[in-house]
Chains A and B, each alone.
Chain A
């Protein structure tokens, strides 16, 4: 139910317990005491009792008075969620397992919602290097919705996680969701000549073979998959659910003091195809790589960066070479400030080291901000307190998808 209160309402309605979880707005520490009434049909008025959880971090805005379930959750500034409405019949309790390298993100996800509970796995190895795994309290997950947060940061860690992924659905769970924020190999998804081995196909095939559970096919949550066609690589036992980190970026951009001077740049047509629809209210710049003799040079194709704070947007970064070339080209064309956003900060071999911070208005020397998400946890560990990097967490977005 929505409540119109002059201070800005902050109620989260949970339909099964019929209580409201309270948050304070960041501006005010008032608590409004009401008694709770649960109307059976959509009445326009209600009163509610606030429980006393002092969670200072959240702000919640009610959107409409008509649809009682339409409430926008706005997590704290660095952890914004997609500006989509969340249905609040989501009292679906979820048991969340996770691989070791994703522990930090798993904890953030669990803190987003009372209904998400962390579970543990014992990850050991036999002397021969093969995994020796044990799922704690396996009986306790029967009849529960279960999810696994995976991270395939290198080929070596795939087999142990796969063993858990193949085992969990068969433990009489009521549904199984695999959250794999970054789908690696995504760039090797084409056979340009016979003999090319498209490893994205291998990975999709392995994941398509997850056993079905009582809840039917496994939901597979992936953020900003590299090639949109990859959704068709998956078989029928898996329901791919493709999400994006761009809403986090949009939220972050709105908080910047120069948010009205932002232009979005795409380093190539591929990035434009992937993202322009989500960013269409910003002025757009498109780059491309043009062949000059033996070399390939980045050129401006459309748009004008002059005087603007240009944010280069792409799904992932590897060596960073493309971003740096775009940066130099945009600076030459008069950009006032340059930032970058990628969902997946792969940065092999510490290539993030080449990204300097610019504070003096010299965009050719560095970036104002470099946003990445926490899809690649090993990178996050390295860059999280290092300018110009800022990590936007996928936690709330993932928490929302777990309730689908």
Chain B
């Protein structure tokens, strides 16, 4: 993303689990400087926080790189997020690469509690700063309607990791034999416009009695390297079922891309080549971004996983 606007210096704070990504972002540009926070706890478990050099951030553009990997880490990061805009900063940007709870955003039945609404409401309550509403940068949010969940004091800025994927695909030796597959219509709606120069396959889950089975809905994977694309992966079950269907329909290689590798309970283990016999190595490549730092640390680029970093994209977004 190249914007020929005046470049601005940005002071970047970050939560502990995002330190690696923060360093990568700062190394992308001389204009981005890392700042530090003392993260301690009181005996009762509540945070005891101190923002270093609080006076020096006056009049500066300030950003915070957050990661809400579990409910337990939200409160301490929120305390910093609510405090920073009020320190006379020139502007405040919250970078939250992965917006959790995003898949729980509907009330299908009265009584459902849409936790995405809770999360959006909390973030909408960030105090405004001298620079006006807080910019909120999120990658590949699960439901496109979620942009409307945010109040007027935040400006949601929805980015995507797909350009990183496209770049990577162009480097492959079989880049002219690639077909993109979507595991369901939701994924197709989210991504097809960005990937429309690739042939496409769409899958669907069909009800057969008590079961739900993945079937091919449109497109033909035969003889191709198929890359399944989705916004996030949890247990990986859906991806595995898709891979089986695609292989059964003649795909020569199957890979996967997700922006957010949530993988609760280390569910990425089932994909690791070291853990499988040759015949079970279902995925040739599994691309993820570093939006979920705890998973990325655990996976550590073990085949077939490859981490595509959001650092460059975030550094650009900080210039908006």
A171/B110 in contact, CB under 8 A: yes
B106 smallest CB distance to A (angstroms): 13
**Is B80 on the interface with A (CB-CB < 8 A)?**
yes
**Is B75 on the interface with A (CB-CB < 8 A)?**
yes
Given contacts A184-B44, A205-B82, contact A134 B265 (CB under 8 A): no
A130/B101 in contact, CB under 8 A: yes
**Is B89 on the interface with A (CB-CB < 8 A)?**
no
Chain A 276-310 per-residue mask, 1 if CB under 8 angstroms from chain B, else 0: 00000000000000000000000000000000000
B122/A162 in contact, CB under 8 A: yes
**Is A132 on the interface with B (CB-CB < 8 A)?**
yes
Chain A 342-375 per-residue mask, 1 if CB under 8 angstroms from chain B, else 0: 0000101101000000000000000000000000
Chain A 67-107 per-residue mask, 1 if CB under 8 angstroms from chain B, else 0: 00000000000000000000000000000000000000000
Question: Which segment of B52-60, B208-216, B251-259 sits at the interface?
Answer: B52-60
Given contacts A134-B112, A139-B110, A346-B44, contact A162 B118 (CB under 8 A): yes
Given contacts A127-B264, A195-B54, A348-B45, contact A163 B74 (CB under 8 A): no
**Is B78 on the interface with A (CB-CB < 8 A)?**
yes
Which residues of B sit under 8 angstroms from A318, Cβ to Cβ? 42-44
B113/A167 in contact, CB under 8 A: yes
**Is A144 on the interface with B (CB-CB < 8 A)?**
no
**Is B100 on the interface with A (CB-CB < 8 A)?**
yes
The residue in A163, A201, A349 that gathers the most chain B C-beta atoms within 10 A of its C-beta is A163
Chain A 122-145 per-residue mask, 1 if CB under 8 angstroms from chain B, else 0: 000011111111111111000000
Given contacts A134-B111, A194-B54, contact A205 B125 (CB under 8 A): yes
**Is A253 on the interface with B (CB-CB < 8 A)?**
no
**Is A43 on the interface with B (CB-CB < 8 A)?**
no
B115/A133 in contact, CB under 8 A: yes
Which residues of B sit under 8 angstroms from A206, Cβ to Cβ? 78, 122, 125
* Chain A residues touching B, majority SS: mixed
Place the interface of chain A in its size category: 35 or more
**Is B83 on the interface with A (CB-CB < 8 A)?**
yes
Closest to A159 in B: B71
In chain B between 90 and 109, which residues have their CB closer than 8 angstroms to a CB of chain A? 100-101, 104, 109
A139–B117 CA distance with the chains assembled, in angstroms: 20
Of the residues B51, B72, B104, contact of A155 by C-beta under 8 Å: B72
**Is A322 on the interface with B (CB-CB < 8 A)?**
no
A118 smallest CB distance to B (angstroms): 16
A155–B78 CA distance with the chains assembled, in angstroms: 11
**Is A390 on the interface with B (CB-CB < 8 A)?**
no
**Is A64 on the interface with B (CB-CB < 8 A)?**
no
B178 smallest CB distance to A (angstroms): 30
A130/B100 in contact, CB under 8 A: yes
A312 smallest CB distance to B (angstroms): 20
Q: How many inter-chain residue pairs (CB < 8 Å) link A and B?
A: 140
B79/A202 in contact, CB under 8 A: yes
Which residues of A sit under 8 angstroms from B264, Cβ to Cβ? 126-129
Which residues of B sit under 8 angstroms from A129, Cβ to Cβ? 69-71, 264
Of the residues A138, A139, A166, contact of B121 by C-beta under 8 Å: A166
Given contacts A129-B70, A130-B71, A130-B101, contact A199 B265 (CB under 8 A): no
A173 smallest CB distance to B (angstroms): 12
A316 smallest CB distance to B (angstroms): 9
A164–B115 CA distance with the chains assembled, in angstroms: 9
Given contacts A162-B122, A195-B52, A209-B125, contact A202 B78 (CB under 8 A): yes
A209/B121 in contact, CB under 8 A: yes
B1 smallest CB distance to A (angstroms): 30
Which residues of A sit under 8 angstroms from B175, Cβ to Cβ? none
The residue in B47, B71, B100 that gathers the most chain A C-beta atoms within 10 A of its C-beta is B71
B85 smallest CB distance to A (angstroms): 12
Which residues of A sit under 8 angstroms from B53, Cβ to Cβ? 195
Which residues of B sit under 8 angstroms from A158, Cβ to Cβ? 71, 74-75
A131/B113 in contact, CB under 8 A: yes
Which residues of B sit under 8 angstroms from A166, Cβ to Cβ? 117-118, 121
Of the residues B80, B122, B127, contact of A197 by C-beta under 8 Å: B80
A155/B113 in contact, CB under 8 A: no
A155–B43 CA distance with the chains assembled, in angstroms: 12
Which residues of A sit under 8 angstroms from B79, Cβ to Cβ? 197, 199, 202
Closest to B73 in A: A155
In chain A between 174 and 198, which residues have their CB closer than 8 angstroms to a CB of chain B? 184-185, 188, 193-198
A294–B71 CA distance with the chains assembled, in angstroms: 40
Which residues of B sit under 8 angstroms from A184, Cβ to Cβ? 44, 46
Closest to A185 in B: B46
B111/A137 in contact, CB under 8 A: yes
A193–B50 CA distance with the chains assembled, in angstroms: 9
**Is B160 on the interface with A (CB-CB < 8 A)?**
no
**Is A154 on the interface with B (CB-CB < 8 A)?**
yes
Of the residues A138, A154, A160, A199, contact of B49 by C-beta under 8 Å: A199
A155–B79 CA distance with the chains assembled, in angstroms: 11
B113/A197 in contact, CB under 8 A: no
**Is B319 on the interface with A (CB-CB < 8 A)?**
no
**Is A319 on the interface with B (CB-CB < 8 A)?**
yes
B113/A164 in contact, CB under 8 A: yes
**Is B316 on the interface with A (CB-CB < 8 A)?**
no
**Is A156 on the interface with B (CB-CB < 8 A)?**
yes
6 residue pairs bridging A and B, Cβ less than 8 Å apart: A139-B110, A153-B45, A167-B113, A167-B118, A195-B53, A318-B42
The 6 closest A-B pairs by CB, nearest first: A156-B72, A195-B54, A138-B111, A155-B75, A159-B71, A127-B264
With A155-B73, A164-B113, A197-B51 known, 12 other A-B pairs at CB within 8 A are: A130-B71, A130-B101, A134-B112, A154-B44, A159-B74, A162-B122, A166-B118, A194-B54, A202-B78, A202-B79, A205-B82, A348-B44
